[in-house]
Structure 1
């Protein structure tokens, strides 16, 4: 496994890394016909995805508006709803409810 990470590290440094094809797997739908297709990255690619996320997340958080809740670590739907409720109660939000 260490050899795999050494190779991966070398590929990334030399800008030679290429992701593997996604593994496609059909999951039957519980209602109706057909299947939902999952596209699953390899473990190697997940390691790279996580490393990139860890490297850029702090910088991206500084760029995002304080009112952006999607794709931010530690923030989610409940936080966005809470903030909208605060704005509505303060008379600052006039959107549709």
Structure 2
């Protein structure tokens, strides 16, 4: 439903690349609460390629994203203004919360 989609897409930051549907390429771009009321989140999403998992935490002005991408998929993890392209596997990307 709409609430689940909001939580996955905006809070956890999980989305599919519109140019590569079916979660062949996953976009991970968490949008933490600017007021700082939410300091962590996680989500799992079952796709045709396997489970995509993501979690993020905020500590000392740093946003850290952990993501697991299934075989046969790739991802772009965006933290602040920096985007990192990754393949299948487990990855961690950190950067300034507002940068």
Q: Fold match, TM over 0.5? A: no
**TM-score, normalised by the number of residues in structure 1:** 0.21
Larger proportion of strand: 2
| Larger RCO, structure (CA 8 Å, separation 6 or more) | 2
**TM-score, normalised by the number of residues in structure 2:** 0.21
